[in-house]
Amino acid sequence: MSGGGEDYSQFSLLDLFRLEAETHGQALTAGLLELERDPSAAAPLEACMRAAHSLKGAARIIELTPAVDLTHAMEDLFVAAQRGKVVLRRGQIDLLLRGVDLLGTMARATESPEAAGRSARAEVDALLAALGVAGETPAGAPPPIAAPPAPEESAAPAPAAATRPAAPEGTDGTERMLRITAESLSRLLGLAGEALMEARRLRPFNDRLMRLRRLHFDAARAFDALREAMPPEEAGPVQPALAAARGRLVACQESLAERLAEFEEIDRRALQIAHRLYDEALASRMRPFEDGVRRYARSVRDLGRELGKQVRLEILGGGTPVDRDILERLDAPLGHLLRNAIDHGIETPEERRAAAKPEEGVIRLEARHHAGMLQIVVADDGRGIDLEALRAAVRARGLAPAETVVQLSEAELLEFLFLPGFSMKAEVTEISGRGVGLDAVQAAARQVRGNVRVATAAGQGTRFRFELPLTLSVIRTLMVEIGGEPYALPLAGIERAMKLPRAAIEVLEGQQHFDLDGRRVGLVDSRQLLGGAEAALGGEEVSVVVIGDQRSSYGLAVDRLLARRELVVRPLDARLGKIPGVAAAAVMEDGAPVLILDVEDLIRGVEKLVAAGRLGRVAAAGPAAGRPRRRVLVVDDSLTIRELERKLLTQRGYEVEVAVDGMDGWNAARSGGFDLVVTDVDMPRMDGMELVTMIRRDPRLRDLPVMIVSYKDREEDRRRGLEAGADYYLTKGSFHDETLVQAVAELIGEAQP
């Protein structure tokens, strides 16, 4: 968005002042924090003086007199420090930071400049008086220091140039600004991503044309072989026709070769343009990491002072481009981690001296791109996490058996910090101790398809590392095959993908497990999680994707591991509601749709199956694979009846799924794989009669046996149920254990072992 000059026609003077107040306020804050460490540093003094001068000129234009007086006094104080007449101590820095805050308050006021000035006049006068004392001048008077010759007001840096230093320039070295909403940028990025995917679809088409060209070569050779094999007496009459046909084939081959060359060039250029479009759209959504976190430096300094600690924030990788949405969503989590570092990690000056450390603690906030991911690190040089105290807290809260707690590794132990409500502080303060920080940090990371890990060293500090996608519009995935269909699993939710030997699968308490780096990981059939029919997986190895984290992870058995893919995320239609296990959709390079799975939802699904005792096993293909257990769907709105029927049938070897009403049962039945449906009649949303009718009308389900189990024992009720299409009608008032099981066996046979 470059042009021949700046265009601020859409901005009022007050809007422009707000922009300058934000930009120069950040510069003042950063400079003052540097001056607090080194009061004689020339560069931050110069930066602060110029920022105050620019703000003074902007305030004068909109006639915000209190802001003019305040910035003039601040500017004079910086000039005095430059000339060596004043040494800025902590007291002066505090007052100047208060002045920055006050300027921001006036700039953000919704009323007119005159009204904003009147409301701030008293506070400005008090601060001017304090600055007068701080500057060793009579109280109530501004510092009597003449300002140096200042540059012309027009030389003040424009807000747009200050906020976007790396933007393209126009002919006069400035950048033209346009207003555009974040939603528009998101749509633009989505369309650019789709254009990139569409451009990639040309490559498979080009490969098919290449195969067609090879067929032409084969046909030409076949013509030559045919002509040579024919006897001379037979070849004579057909020779002209064969020659003509071969000539046309060669001409087609040459034409195809020319078109292929053109197509390859078009393909190459289309892909280049699509990449450039996507990169440009992505860049428009990016902002330098430091822009979003610079203000934390002031917060860290002020909170440290409040707690009697000396601490500063170092920002590394400030120029790293970060998606605006990701940076905004990480605002609260980063604030949590910084407060924790100051409160829990950084020691008091006395403690740091005793530990042979500098009195001033350092918190490092770093961003970098690594292996196609965004890494953000929050690290401190404090005392670190007391692992034995953490172990004792886990044991005291009963979060794990005592014998298990003793055996937990450091990584497993640190995962408990992310549990909701967990805190190691005995007392609750305004800053921490309620246990609502780290679980929110982890939840926020997962919301942006990332994760967070923690490491610590006693006496050296603690380190939190975020692994995040570069953007939310494109996701890096592992493609897998489940039930003959491709699915995408976000790489951020995958711990490992592997081929697991069947000999490594063990059964503990009725559930399958395998060993992974010294810990037991449960094995789950992906088909069961997605509501499909379970099937035996052949071969001596099982393809497994380990999802989750070290505290809660499961091995997802899939049909095949396919490949890694970058996919453009396309949200599902809101009218579909939340589909279990599915987060979004995407389009493959060949135009085929694919579902992106929701790892968190899958883990919750596993936990529900475990709690209900319904987690199936990953069966091996073999002689028994052709005789799977009979699957029964029980549909009843009564929890008691539903569970009674489930237990009766499960104990006899049947595999049972349950549904809470007719609509739920209809959705489950359509997923396929059931040998029998057992349903009640009176249910909300869809009754049993409607369910039977729907099943009989469905071409795929019309032969599915259906049994009605109802309290209605009149002959007309029984006749109505059978006429609707039920194969068996059993009354609840008369059936007992054997009656139900025998009826099921009559319809679908005995359960297979």
Q: Which two tokens stand for residue 63?
A: 């006639």
Tell me which residue range forms the domain holding 635: 629-748
φ, ψ at 156 (rounded to 5°): -60, 135
Is it the case that residue 692 has pLDDT exceeding 50? yes
Kindly state whether residues 97 and 34 are assigned to the same domain. Answer: yes
Q: Tell me, what DSSP letter sits at residue 45?
A: H
Same domain, 103 and 53: yes
| Same domain, yes or no: 350 and 483 | no
Contact assessment for residue 297 and residue 29, using Cβ atoms and an 8 Å cutoff: yes
For residue 720, being part of any structural domain is answered with: yes
Same domain, 275 and 376: no
**pLDDT classification of 384: cutoffs 50, 70, 90:** very high
| Residue 3 lies inside a defined structural domain of this protein | no
Instruction: Give the mean model confidence (pLDDT) for residues 645-661.
Output: 84
Report pLDDT digits (tens) over 52-103. 888 888 888 778 888 888 888 888 888 888 888 888 888 888 889 888 888 8
Q: Is residue 170 part of a domain?
A: no
Query: Do 684 and 733 sit in the same domain of this protein?
Result: yes
Query: Within this chain, do residues 261 and 304 fall inside the same structural domain, yes or no?
Result: no
Could you give the C-alpha distances from 546 to 25, 60, 69, 489, 492, in angstroms and in order? 48, 63, 63, 11, 11
3-state secondary structure of 249: helix
Classify residue 214: in a domain, yes or no: yes
- Which alpha helices (H) appear in 286-330, and where do they start and end? 289-293, 296-306, 324-329
Residue 6: its pLDDT value, please? 43
Domain match, 75 and 195 both: no
Residue 49 one-letter amino acid: M
We report the CATH number of the domain holding residue 734 as 3.40.50.2300
Confidence of residue 206 (pLDDT cuts 50, 70, 90): low
Q: What is the DSSP string of 196-234?
A: HHHHHTHHHHHHHHHHHHHHHHHHHHHHHHHHHHS-HHH
Q: What is the mean pLDDT of residues 320-343?
A: 87
Question: Does any domain span residue 548?
Answer: yes
Q: How many CB atoms lie within 10 A of CB 59?
A: 26
Which is higher by pLDDT, 531 or 189?
A: 531
**Claim to verify: residue 495 and residue 451 sit in the same structural domain:** no
Please indicate, yes or no, if residue 150 is contained in any of the structural domains: no
Confidence at residue 431, expressed as pLDDT on a 0 to 100 scale: 54
Segment (H or E) for 656: strand 655-659
Q: Give the pLDDT score at 535.
A: 59
pLDDT of the residue at 64: 83
Task: Single out the residue in 224, 258, 287 at which a domain terminates.
Answer: 287
What whole-number distance in Å separates Cα of residue 566 and Cα of residue 274? 15
pLDDT at 721 exceeding the cut of 70: yes
pLDDT of residue 699 exceeding 50, the answer is: yes
Residue 135 has pLDDT above 60, yes or no: no
Same-domain pairing of 684 and 720: yes
Q: Are residues 570 and 637 in the same domain?
A: no
CATH number of the domain where residue 531 is located: 2.40.50.180
pLDDT of amino acid 9: 46
> 189 or 490, which is more confident?
490
Q: What's the pLDDT at 745? A: 84
132 in Cβ contact with 139 (< 8 Å):
yes
How many CB atoms are located within 10 Å of the residue 645 CB? Answer: 24
pLDDT for residue 136 is more than 70: no
Mean of all residue pLDDT scores within the chain: 77
Number of structural domains in the chain: 5
Does residue 149 belong to any structural domain of this protein?
Answer: no
HSE, CB side, 13 Å, CA atoms: give it for residue 551: 18
Q: Are residues 138 and 192 in the same domain?
A: no
| Tokens encoding 547 | 């999802």
Alpha carbon distance 468, 286 (integer Å): 14
- Residue 331 maps to a domain: yes
Please give the average per-residue pLDDT across 120-145, as a whole number: 61
Domain boundary among 551, 585, 611: 611
HEC per residue, 408-468: CCHHHHHHHHHCCCCCCCCCCCCCCCCCCCHHHHHHHHHHCCCEEEEEEECCCEEEEEEEE
Give the model's pLDDT for residue 188. 73
Average pLDDT over residues 8-34: 76
Q: What is the mean pLDDT of residues 42-46?
A: 87
pLDDT value at 342 more than 80: yes
308, 283: one domain: no
Distance, in Å, from the CA atom of 157 to the CA atom of 168, rounded to the nearest integer, reads 16
Last residue of a domain, one of 419, 444, 469: 469
Which pLDDT score, from 0 to 100, does residue 380 have? 95
d(CA 86, CA 613): 75
Q: What is the pLDDT of residues 400-457, one digit of tens each?
A: 888 888 888 888 888 888 887 777 665 545 555 444 468 888 888 888 878 888 999 9
The domain that holds 104 is classified in CATH as 1.20.120.160
